[in-house]
Amino acid sequence: MNKLKKEVLYYGLSVLAVILVLAGWWAAAAANENLASPADTVERFFRLMENPIMGKPVYVHVMASVRRILVAFIAASIVGVGLGVCFGIFPTFRRMFWPVFAILRPVPPLAWIPIVILWFGVVEDTSKYIIIFIGIVMAIVINTYAGISETDPLYLNAGKALGANKWQTLVHITLPNSIPAIFAGMKTGLSTGWMSVVAAEMIAAKEGIGFLINMSMKTTPDTALDFVGIVLVALCSSVVSLILTVIERKLCPWLRLDVK
């Protein structure tokens, strides 16, 4: 087979796969009257634009979720990178507090929901921010620490030979060198974060994508609304992760040298 033929075949396979997914979805919807078809979903989206839920148009729900995750993400990044750096550069601190971190880490973010609600109530947004924060922060701490402790000794020694003090070593060598690991942690954290947003909003909220998803389960099932919510979450999380990739590239121009 020549190259062109192969490319066409592969492209055809990808298109076929997407068509099959849509066809399967359509068939499932035809077989189950409660399950919305792709057309119902598109139609539901436009209906959502005209008839807002809770008096809020769809973009207000999207912005509510985005705002929650951004606030929690910024807080988790500051705390997570800070803790990770402390674990990385202060051996005594690591000895004392890594065990505490290690016993908290295996508790899944969603398992924190009931206790956080007991502490901060269900109505206020505080409990949602905290649940999302917990979802994001763990991965950032671990990756920051890993990035710092895996710094190439060659660079550390070079810095030492040139007379860098501890602070300079951190700012000019260890931290820049850890940026890819930190960003990987942020992306892992964000995908847990989106799950936490949906969970927190499903449990109690008056707006947000998770709220829309939860509304789809009321009285008569409205799966079209759920599909709309799914598409919105997927879109938002792709956009946010794309933005992070762009920032990472700006921050680490040296990484682009390997690409090609």
Partner 1 sequence: MYNEKKRSAWAKLALNLSGLVMFFGVWELIVDIGLISEKKLVAPSAVFMTFLDKLTNVVPDGNTIIAHTLTSLQLVLIGFLLSCLIGVPLGLLMGFFKPAEHFFTPIFEIVRPIPPLAWIPIVIVALGIGIEAEAFIIFVAAFVPCVINSYTGIQATNKTLLDVARTAGATNAQLFFKVGIPSALPMVFTGIKVSFGSAWATLVAAEMIASTVGLGFMIQQGRNAVRPDIVILGMSVIGLIGAALTGLLSILEKKALPWRDLK
Contacts with partner 1, residue ranges (CB under 8 A): 6, 9-11, 13-14, 16-18, 20-21, 28, 32, 34-35, 88-92, 94-100, 103-104, 106-115, 117-119, 148-149, 156, 160, 166, 169, 174, 192, 194-195, 198-199, 202, 210, 213, 216-217, 221, 223, 226-227, 229-230, 233-234, 237-238
- Which helix (H) or strand (E) segment is 80 a member of? helix 58-89
Least Å distance, CB 243 to partner 1, is 15
In whole angstroms, give the CA distance from residue 173 to residue 85.
13
Write down how long the chain is: 260
Least Å distance, CB 121 to partner 1, is 10
Secondary structure E strands in the chain: none
Q: Which CB, 33 or 50, lies closer to partner 1? A: 33
What SS3 state is found at 56?
strand
Show Cβ contacts of residue 195 under 8 Å, excluding neighbours closer than 6 positions: 109, 110, 135
Q: Note whether 250 and 243 are within 8 A (CB).
A: no
Place of tokens 């700012």: 171
Q: Which CB, 72 or 202, lies closer to partner 1? A: 202
Q: Which CB, 192 or 253, lies closer to partner 1? A: 192
Phi, psi of 150 (to 5 degrees): -100, 15
Least Å distance, CB 176 to partner 1, is 15
Least Å distance, CB 88 to partner 1, is 6
